Amino acid sequence: MTSSALILNDLEVRFYENDFKLSDINLEIKTGTITGLIGRNGAGKTTLLKAIMGLQKYQKGTITYFETDKSLKNPLIKERLSFTSNALAYNPRFSPDQIANAVAPFYKNFKYDLFEKYLDLFHLNEDQRLANFSTGMQRKFQVLLTISCNPDLLILDEPTANLDTVSKDDILDMVMDFMQDEEKSILFSTNLTVDVERIADYVVFMEKGRIIFAEEKDTLLEQYQLFHCPTECMTPEFKKNIVGMKETAFGYEGLISSSHSDIAGTNTDEIRFVRAGFDDFMRYFSEEGA
């Protein structure tokens, strides 16, 4: 039986200064898996990650860590988690070596050898101030430091946002190396669906503070198709099985369940079906695409 690194039950986060809130958040992160959290800006992804890490108060629900504890006040639980955001979280006047020496005492399993390995691999000077690093170098440093803490659950908030292709690949390679240990788990948020397609086992889509779906990646890709339909072929029978669609100059484009793509009474010979991607899921599962 697969164990769980994280379980969220009926989580709710309210912001009294505005109308936004996270609500009805139910989610399980299985041990040994990578879960990609997608959604447009403002969907609530960062808020959710901060709530998990104890950086954002929640007003309702429970968070269970490693099936044993519902509180991060236990230091033995807290050191099994490690988090980094896409913003620089450390004083730029300090060097990688200084920061590592400050962070390591909080993680009894901190891997200095791994830390040194990645610094060498990415040609990051351990004695140079972070202020002298490029954005890509700073991001690599934050991720490698987080991984060097050797957590059981690694949480990353948009780790590859606004980076060049080489830096993105370096970070994703680090993430995959981390997962060589089957007892590790990762939850990461992103606006780059190509990252999800490349490394995720499970995909969670958030929209306006709610989880729209949380499913195994391969299952989602098998269950839905993208269609291109001439106007004259759009029948009521076909339309009622559509997840979401938009009108185009040539008819309609949208997302439909694969099990309903061949519908009696519809001339499907004139409808083109292609593999859907996660950009399509984000577009057509959203309220605007429905």
With respect to residue 130, please indicate whether it lies within any of the assigned structural domains. yes
With respect to residue 213, please indicate whether it lies within any of the assigned structural domains. no
The domain of 139 spans 2-207
Q: Which of 211, 203, 282, 209 is nearest to 44 (CA)?
A: 209
Number of domains in the chain: 2
Does the CA dihedral 193-198-119-185 come out positive or negative?
Answer: positive
* Helix boundaries (H) for the chain: 45-52, 75-78, 96-103, 112-121, 135-148, 165-178, 193-199, 217-223, 236-239, 278-285
Confidence of residue 16 (pLDDT cuts 50, 70, 90): confident
With respect to residue 47, please indicate whether it lies within any of the assigned structural domains. yes
- Model confidence over 24-75: pLDDT tens digits? 999 999 999 999 999 999 999 999 999 999 999 999 999 999 999 888 888 8
Final residue belonging to a domain, choices 163, 178, 207: 207
Quick one: 184 and 235 in the same domain? no
- Model confidence over 253-269: pLDDT tens digits? 999 988 765 664 556 67
With respect to residue 212, please indicate whether it lies within any of the assigned structural domains. no
Quick one: 203 and 95 in the same domain? yes
**CATH, residue 185:** 3.40.50.300
Q: Which of 100, 101, 183, 107 is nearest to 150 (CA)?
A: 107
Cα 139 to chain center, whole Å?
Answer: 16
- Model confidence over 156-207: pLDDT tens digits? 999 999 899 999 999 999 999 999 999 999 999 999 999 999 999 999 999 9
Phi-psi region at 230: left, alpha or beta (left = phi > 0; alpha = psi -120 to 50): beta
Final residue belonging to a domain, choices 155, 179, 207: 207
Q: How many Cβ atoms sit within 10 Å of the Cβ of residue 230?
A: 13
* Gyration radius (Cα) of the chain, Å: 21
With respect to residue 53, please indicate whether it lies within any of the assigned structural domains. yes
With respect to residue 190, please indicate whether it lies within any of the assigned structural domains. yes
- When mean pLDDT is compared across 14-23, 86-95, 97-106, the lowest value belongs to 14-23
With respect to residue 161, please indicate whether it lies within any of the assigned structural domains. yes
* Helix boundaries (H) for 93-134: 96-103, 112-121
For the chain, what is the mean pLDDT? 92
The Cα–Cα gap between 144 and 30 comes to 23
Quick one: 166 and 238 in the same domain? no
Final residue belonging to a domain, choices 174, 207, 240: 207
The Cα–Cα gap between 137 and 211 comes to 33
pLDDT for position 17: 78
The residue that leads in pLDDT, 240 or 33, is: 33
Quick one: 96 and 125 in the same domain? yes
Quick one: 129 and 267 in the same domain? no
Quick one: 118 and 148 in the same domain? yes
The answer to whether 207 and 39 have CB atoms below 8 angstroms apart is: yes
Determine the average pLDDT of the residues in 126-153. 96
The answer to whether 81 and 153 have CB atoms below 8 angstroms apart is: yes
Quick one: 63 and 198 in the same domain? yes
Quick one: 148 and 223 in the same domain? no
Quick one: 196 and 176 in the same domain? yes
Quick one: 201 and 256 in the same domain? no
Environment class of 223 (CB within 10 Å of its CB; exposed 0-12, middle 13-18, buried 19+)? middle
CA atoms within 13 A on the CB side of 174: 27
pLDDT for position 287: 63
Quick one: 147 and 252 in the same domain? no
Quick one: 143 and 21 in the same domain? yes
